[in-house]
């Protein structure tokens, strides 16, 4: 295939990808400033210079567009890190707290994420696979970081700690969205992560005020 033909073949794909990225950036601005519920696809389309139907042509639904925005947010969060991926060990937990602090300035995206996760528990929701996979990957990364800090920690305990970290982060975000004057999001997140790590690393020596949970 000569160069002219190759150029003609590749250009539409490049243009499509560029347009998709433009739509994602516009959606991030819209959801970030107006919130996920209030920000409309028409708002996004107007910024890009296309129609509402044009946005749906690229992403299919508002939920799928939000997934793309959230994935881009995650990618941007590690772009300046070594290897462009989430760090390990203690630095992973510092990274999580830094991310939460950054989220305090992008309330609309946090709102969109929280709504998406809540709705994705229903069967057949278009974002369910993405949310499920995101939790699975993050659970593994956090458990690995726990064991890097404490090599003696059994895998089951590390995974339990990861579940607790993820749960408390999302729970605090929900409380913060409902009343940001009552929750210091980054500070509360750091406190919870430190408490979970301390209990996990202490193992059998950790205080057990709740005691054993019986079936």
At 193-211, the pLDDT tens digits run 999 999 999 987 777 787 7
Is the distance from CB of 214 to CB of 203 less than 8 angstroms? Answer: no
Q: What is the pLDDT of residue 1?
A: 45
**Tokens 């990618």 sit at which residue?**
75
Q: What is the pLDDT of residue 85?
A: 63
Give the number of other CB atoms < 10 A from CB of residue 76: 11
Distance of CA 104 to CAs 39, 111, 121, 180, 214, Å? Answer: 19, 11, 25, 9, 38
At 139-167, the pLDDT tens digits run 999 999 999 999 999 999 999 999 999 99
> Average pLDDT, stretch 55-64?
88
Is the distance from CB of 60 to CB of 54 less than 8 angstroms? Answer: no
At 74-110, the pLDDT tens digits run 777 555 555 556 789 999 999 999 999 999 998 888 8
End-to-end alpha carbon distance in the chain:
68
Q: pTM for the full model? A: 0.75
> Residue 18, Cα to own-chain centre: how many angstroms?
23
Q: What is the pLDDT of residue 77?
A: 59
- Tell me what percent of the residues of the chain surpass a pLDDT of 90: 44
CA-closest candidate to residue 96, choices 129, 74, 66, 120: 74
Q: What is the 3-state secondary structure (H, E, C) of 100-150?
A: HHHHCCCHHHHHHHHHHHHHCCCCCCCCHHHHHHHHHHHHHHHHHHHHHHC
* CA–CA dist 155, 72 (Å, integer): 30
Using the CB atoms, write b or e for 169-188: b if 16+ within 10 Å: beebbeebbeeeeebebbeb
Q: What is the pLDDT of residue 32?
A: 72
**Tokens 């409380």 sit at which residue?**
175
Helix residue ranges, H only, the chain: 3-34, 41-48, 52-59, 62-78, 89-103, 107-119, 128-149, 155-178, 185-202
Is the distance from CB of 92 to CB of 137 less than 8 angstroms? Answer: no
């Amino acid at each position: 295939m000569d160069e002219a033909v190759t150029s003609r073949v590749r250009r539409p794909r490049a243009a499509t990808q560029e347009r998709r990225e433009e739509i994602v950036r516009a959606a991030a601005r819209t959801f970030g400033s107006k919130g996920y519920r209030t920000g409309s696809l028409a708002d996004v389309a107007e910024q890009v210079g296309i129609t509402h139907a044009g946005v749906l042509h690229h992403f299919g639904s508002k939920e799928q567009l939000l997934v793309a925005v959230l994935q881009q947010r995650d990618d941007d969060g590690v772009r300046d890190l070594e290897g462009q991926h989430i760090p390990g060990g203690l630095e992973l937990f510092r990274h999580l707290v830094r991310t939460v602090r950054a989220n305090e300035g992008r309330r609309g995206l946090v709102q969109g994420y929280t709504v998406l996760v809540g709705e994705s528990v229903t069967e057949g929701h278009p974002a369910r696979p993405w949310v499920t996979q995101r939790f699975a990957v993050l659970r593994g990364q956090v458990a690995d970081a726990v064991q890097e800090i404490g090599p003696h920690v059994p895998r089951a305990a590390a995974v339990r700690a990861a579940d607790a970290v993820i749960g408390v982060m999302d729970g605090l975000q929900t409380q913060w969205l409902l009343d940001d004057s009552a929750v210091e999001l980054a500070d509360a997140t750091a406190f919870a992560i430190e408490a979970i790590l301390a209990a996990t690393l202490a193992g059998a020596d950790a205080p057990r005020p709740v005691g054993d949970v019986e079936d």
